[in-house]
Structure formats: C-alpha cells, structure tokens
Structure 1
Amino acid sequence: HCVLLPHRAALRSWFALCIHFLKSSFFKLNLFFMTNCSLFGDFLGQTFCTLGEIIGSTGGRVERTLSGIPGKKCGVIILTAEELSNCRDIATMQLCANKLDKKDFFGKSDPFLVFYRSNEDGTFTICHKTEVIKNTLNPVWQPFTIPVRALCNGDYDRTVKVDVYDWDRDGSHDFIGEFTTSYRELSRGQNQFNVYEVSGGSLFVTLLSFKVESEYTFVDFIRGNPSQPTSLHYMSPYQMNAYAMALKAVGEIIQDYDSDKLFPAYGFGAKLPPDGKISHAFPLSGDADNPNCVGIEGVLEAYFQSLRTVQLYGPTNFAPVINKVANCAAEITDGSQYFVLLMITDGVISDMVQTKEAVVNAASLPLSIIIVGVGPAEFDAMEELDGDEVRVSSRGRLAERDIVQWIMELLYFCCKLSDLRAFAIKI
C-alpha cells in the first residue's frame, strides 16, 4: 500500500479484497500518476504477485521492483496485508479549523484534511481526504462518512493522524501541520478534548459532530423481527427456534455442574424500553438487581418474555457480557466458585478487538466460555476465539490458558457432545 517513486512524492493507499482460501489470487498491478491534464495518467510501472505471497511474507510485507518502461528504473512498490476486523460500524464526522496560515500570495489558503490510519508495522496509510475549501482561513468541511475498520480496523485506541494542507493547482500542496487522535477520542463527539492544536503554528482543528451507525447485512434481517418466520428468534407455536434449541441442548448439560440452579441470563444487542437505549448486557429477567433465572427452563421463559419487550438491534458486541461475568469471577479469590459463560450467537460479531482483550484478561480468572453458533452465517470469528490451535492474544499479550470452547453448529451438536463433556470435566 506504500509506493516509493523516484522524483515523485510518496503515495499511500489501501483497498479491501475478499480472499478465497482454496483459490490462487494472482495480481497485476499497474501504477499511474494522475494529473488534471491527463485522462488516463502517466504510466509509472507494473509488477506481479499473488495474494498468498503478501500474506505469507514476514510481517505481511512484500517489496517489488516496478518495471514496464524499457531503459528506465521505475522505483519500488511496497505491499502490506492486514486482516480486516468484523467491525461493521460506519462513522460520520464534521470538522472545522480557524486561524489558518496564509499560504497563497494573492489570497488566503485553500485548505483540506488528509486522514491516515496507522498500520501494524508503524507506518501510516491514507484513508480519507476532505474536499478543498477555497480562499479561507477558517474552513468548515462537509460531513463525511467512513467505515470504522478503514479508520482504525476496529481498534479504538489505534492512532489516527490528520494532516492539514493548502491545495495548489500543480499538485505541490503546502503542508500546514498535523495532529493525532484516535477513534475512541473522536467518538466522544464535540467537547473540549476534541479541539486539536496543529503542529507548526497556532492553528486549531475542531470536531463539530460525530455519530456512529451500523452497516447491516442479510444476516441482521434473518435474525430480526421475532414475529417473522425468517428470523432465527421466531417464536413458533409448534417448535422451538434455533436459539432456544441451542440453549436447551447445551444448558441441560452444564446445569448439572451448578448446585443452586440459579442462572443469571443476559441478552446483547437490543433496544430496551421505554427510551430505546441500546444495551449489550441486559438481564433477560428485566430486573437489573436480580438477573437470576431458575433452571434452564427459567432461562427459556425469560428469553421468550424478553423477545416480546425488546427490539433486537445491532451491533453485536461480545465484550460487555464477557467483562460483566469476568468482574463477578474476579471477586472470587478463595477458589470456592467457578463460572461458565454460555453464549449463543449467529456468528456476527462487531467488536473482535475488544472481545479478544476481554478473553485475555479473563484467562487468569475462574471462568470458561462456551460459544454455540446457530444459523447460516460464517463463523470464522468464533473459531478465532477458540484457542485450541492458536492461543488468543491482545496487544501482544497471550491468554494464560484456553478458556473458550467453540461448538460449531447445532446440527453438529451431537458430534461435539464428547468435546463439551471433556471441556466440562477439564474446567
């Protein structure tokens, strides 16, 4: 994504690709220099590679020499690959600036902003450019929308760098200054902390507004309204839905290891009455002071009652529930209790980075997690949390032990019963 060219400014760009593991992805990369005077751009060179070469290289980084112009050195292109998170949030923000430096001899300035995401190797890649505001020292840019994974790949604390430039017709834009922030800081919206002093002068850039929405897929709709037969939560008068079947099948096994048969039960990803507040860890009983249900049958009753009162809503965040149970487990220091968290999901997860961190933090506690998948979605993210082959890690820290047991699908549940019983005995 980083191009180094002789006699040219360094260029950086990124794009997303779908990988089919069993198919070879062969690429021909042609590089052009685009100008206002050229319809197709000036050809600068080309190279060839496979996606496997990039992903399989050390650090996911490949350097290739550009060729294609006889008798001329075309420079090099550096390609890096990073797996995208499953974060499906989309951020919309608006910024303004004041007290800009006057860069144009016959006018003021023509400012624009360039946003960079930080990469795993410490480099930065352009992820967005604002429009140019002509002849002003106090620009107000139009709101723009960007996928959160493009901005920070779901890592809310990853550095976001913003450069301020003065636009020039010939492309030699004047650098005014820069500042850094993060998605977590931006998500706080307009406040005193989101007024940024730009390096190199008395210029300030201010965040005027910030909002986040979720991008939905067909999976969100098939798991949606419980009154629709297409929903995985459909309450049929004739048979249990997929969630209830999984809850009953697995719950009846693990409940034998509990003495009082009182189970706190939580839902995640719903709007709660009366004000429609979104929650990722709400008690199915509706009582925050007493989330306990009597036996698995009590959990089922609370689940069905909850479907009648809440509105299912994205995103689907795992970390809040894991952290809630982990906090309870952390209070037990004498070894008298052990916690088992059973999570039933359709495979969609929006906060993989935060979930990994929660799992790593919980690995030292008296806690194990069983995840059961239902429905037709892809469950690659769940398999990533199961540390059977590769231990879960977060911020360079490995989980002390494997605390996650992933049960693929209810259709294969009978085949996994032995795994689950072994897991129950092991914990």
Structure 2
Amino acid sequence: MSHSSYPFLFGRTEVIKNTLNPDFVRKYILDYFFEEKQNLRFDVYDIDSKSPDLGKHDFLGQVYCTLGEIVGSPASRLEKPLGGIPGKTCGTIILSAEELGNCRMNAYAMALKAVGEIIQDYDSDKMFPALGFGAKLPPDGRVSHEFPLNGNVENPYCNGMEGILEAYHQSLKLVQLYGPTNFAPVVNHVARYAAAVEDGSQYFILLIITDGVISDMAQTKEAIVNAAKLPMSIIIVGVGQAEFDAMVELDGDDVRISSRGKLAERDIVQFVPFRDYMDRTGNHVLSMARLAKDVLAEIPDQLISYMKSRAIKPNPVPPPYSTCNNPETTPL
C-alpha cells in the first residue's frame, strides 16, 4: 500500500493458509489513511512458507484504488479484479470499510471535530450549513464544488458537530470524489451570507478541510479579497503530504493577498497543515487541542479588526442583576 507521491509500506496482513478465499482482518491498517484521495496499492502473494523474502513468493496481482473509492462504494465494499500480470487474472479482491466510522476517524473528521467543537459554542442554535466540493453527484454524475453534505439543497444545516460528521460519512457513500478542486464557490457561498449582515451582530467562520490541491487559485484569491471587507474569517486545514504553497499564499501572513491589483482589506485566512499535529504516540487529544489552538489563534484579532473598520462598538454592559433578600426571588 503506498501513497502516490511518497511510496510507503503501511503494513502486511497475516498469512491465511489452506484456502483460496482468504479473509484478512487487519482492519487497523486503515488507521494510517488520512485522506480520501490518497492512492493505495494492494499486492497479493501466494506465500512460500520457507522464504521470508517477498521476491521469492508467487505474485498473484495488485489493485489500485483510493480510500474514497472504498468508503464511497455501496455498503463501503469495493470489488476489483487482481491485475498486474499480462493476460492473467487471479481472482477478485474485496476491500471493505464497513466499520470505518466506528473504528477510526480520518484527518478530515478529526480536524472538523477539533476545531468545530470550540467554534460551535459561539453559535446560539448550533445549526451549521455543511458543504462539500470536488465530487460527482448522483444520479447524473455532475461535478459540483458547492453541494450540501446532507443532500438537502433547501436546508443544508446540520445539528452540531455530530450532525456534520454524520452527514459527512453518509455523503462519502453517495458521491464520487473528483477533481478539479475549486475553493471559490464555497468562499462566495459564505460571503453571500456575511454580506447580508454587516452590522456586527453576526460573524461568520468558514472552515475548509482540503488535501491542498487547488484548481481555481485566481478565482479564490478574488473571492477572498472581496470577502475581506465582510464579517467573516476563513480557516484552512491541509491534510496529506501535498505541497501547500498555494495554501500558504492564501494565508497572507507574510504578503497580503491581492487580486487584479487590489489588496485585501484585512487578513482573514489562517492555514495550518494537519500533518504537523499528528501524534504518532497515539495521544490525539493533545495533538488535536494544539491544532484547535493554532487555527483559532487569529480569529479574535480578525473579528476585532472588522468591527473597528466599521466603527462598530460592543453593546453596553447590562447593569448587574440585583434582588432583595426574599428567598423566592433570589436566583440560584
């Protein structure tokens, strides 16, 4: 099993003897897979018990796929013929991730949970619109960069982080992940909401979780420049081993982002690579806490910068609540 850019052996299954239909149970290998677009390769051998060297075993074939193909297949069960030997097929391999949602969380879900569980406490009703991008949608296979994870175009809202995670996992079973990857549609989507409430009563935070590939850089930069004058911030979490030069450029910490000669009014983007927060000792609680801390670090200053730019002042502090000594009216 390998990554397309950085080949790496994740592990080997146990050897199943005396059967032509082995059932491998090394499900925990999936714990290493952090992105749906990650390319995987499964090699199958007929083992020579006298030799520990794979080169001396009989090679039966191999299968290429992505984690997204496995999770997105019916019942999270993908069947593929073993290839690799010209003119010969040595059977079919079945890749199953039926227990994926119960036994592991991928990087997308981990980042969403770590950041979202903090952000949601600043929202009164805990109902959040959740959008996907870069996928073919049923039933006609059209490519979309702005589709509701819950499948409801009229009401894309999900109830809290648990509702978003549930919609995300269900969506993986229905859509086919597909390029190109365009950011501008979702940035403009949130910007339309923010443009309707510029009085300081609401502030919008867009969390984008991506593998780092971006196909509409110019359009995205223009969308961010336009959004910089609105009450909104953008958090980008990059997953996988891709180069994140484009994401760093969007962050704008060193050089303020611009489009068509126009500088963004303020910096509204914060980017962090997820791989910097993976704790290989297994202590995901601490590593995800660090992730949340860093991605949210700039939000307070970004919010204040918007309010100051519009001369919006905080509401007056209400007078202290006072009561008499009557126990029936004293608050608990």
**Normalised-by-shorter TM-score class:** 0.5 to 0.7
The reply to whether residue 424 of structure 1 matches residue 304 of structure 2 is no
The reply to whether residue 309 of structure 1 matches residue 153 of structure 2 is no
Among candidates 204, 209, 219, match of residue 354 of structure 1? 219
Aligned counterpart, 2:105? 240
Among candidates 117, 120, 136, match of residue 271 of structure 1? 136
Calculate percent identity across the aligned residue pairs: 65
C-alpha distance 303-332 of structure 1, shift in aligned 2 (>3 A): same
Distance 1:276 1:383 in 2: 32
Aligned 8 A contact 1:246 1:374 in 2: no
What amino acid is aligned across from residue 69 of structure 2 in structure 1?
N
1:18-72 Cα shifts (integer Å, max 9, x gaps):
xxxxxxxxxxxxxxxxxxxxxxxxxxxxxxxxxxxxxxxxxxxxxxxxxxxxxxx
Distance 1:333 1:284 in 2: 27
Structure with greater Cα Rg: 1
Distance 2:70 2:248 in 1: 27
Give the unaligned 5+ runs of structure 2.
1-36, 41-63, 72-77, 79-93, 278-287, 304-332
Structure number having the greater strand percentage: 1
Distance 1:221 1:392 in 2: 37
Distance 2:268 2:175 in 1: 31
The reply to whether residue 225 of structure 1 matches residue 69 of structure 2 is yes
Q: How much has 1:235 moved relative to structure 2? A: 3.5
Aligned counterpart, 1:295? 160
Q: How much has 1:334 moved relative to structure 2? A: 2.2
C-alpha distance 382-223 of structure 1, shift in aligned 2 (>3 A): farther
Q: How much has 1:333 moved relative to structure 2? A: 2.9
TM score, norm. by length of structure 2? 0.59
Aligned 8 A contact 1:226 1:307 in 2: no
Q: How much has 1:218 moved relative to structure 2? A: 5.5
Q: How much has 1:253 moved relative to structure 2? A: 1.5
What amino acid is aligned across from residue 361 of structure 1 in structure 2?
N
The reply to whether residue 258 of structure 1 matches residue 102 of structure 2 is no
Aligned 8 A contact 2:132 2:146 in 1: yes
Describe how 1:16-415 pairs up with structure 2 within 5 A.
222=66, 224-227=68-71, 235=100, 237-412=102-277, 414-415=289-290
Aligned 8 A contact 2:241 2:275 in 1: no
Q: How much has 1:315 moved relative to structure 2? A: 0.5
3-state secondary structure, aligned to 2:163 = helix
C-alpha distance 396-283 of structure 1, shift in aligned 2 (>3 A): same
Distance 1:393 1:319 in 2: 14
Distance 1:299 1:256 in 2: 15
Note the aligned Cα RMSD (angstroms): 2.7
Q: How much has 1:276 moved relative to structure 2? A: 0.9
- Where relative contact order (Cα < 8 A, 6+ residues apart) is larger, the structure is 2
Structure number having the greater helix percentage: 2
TM score, norm. by length of structure 1? 0.46
Give the unaligned 5+ runs of structure 1.
1-215
What amino acid is aligned across from residue 185 of structure 2 in structure 1?
P
Q: How many equivalent pairs are there?
A: 211
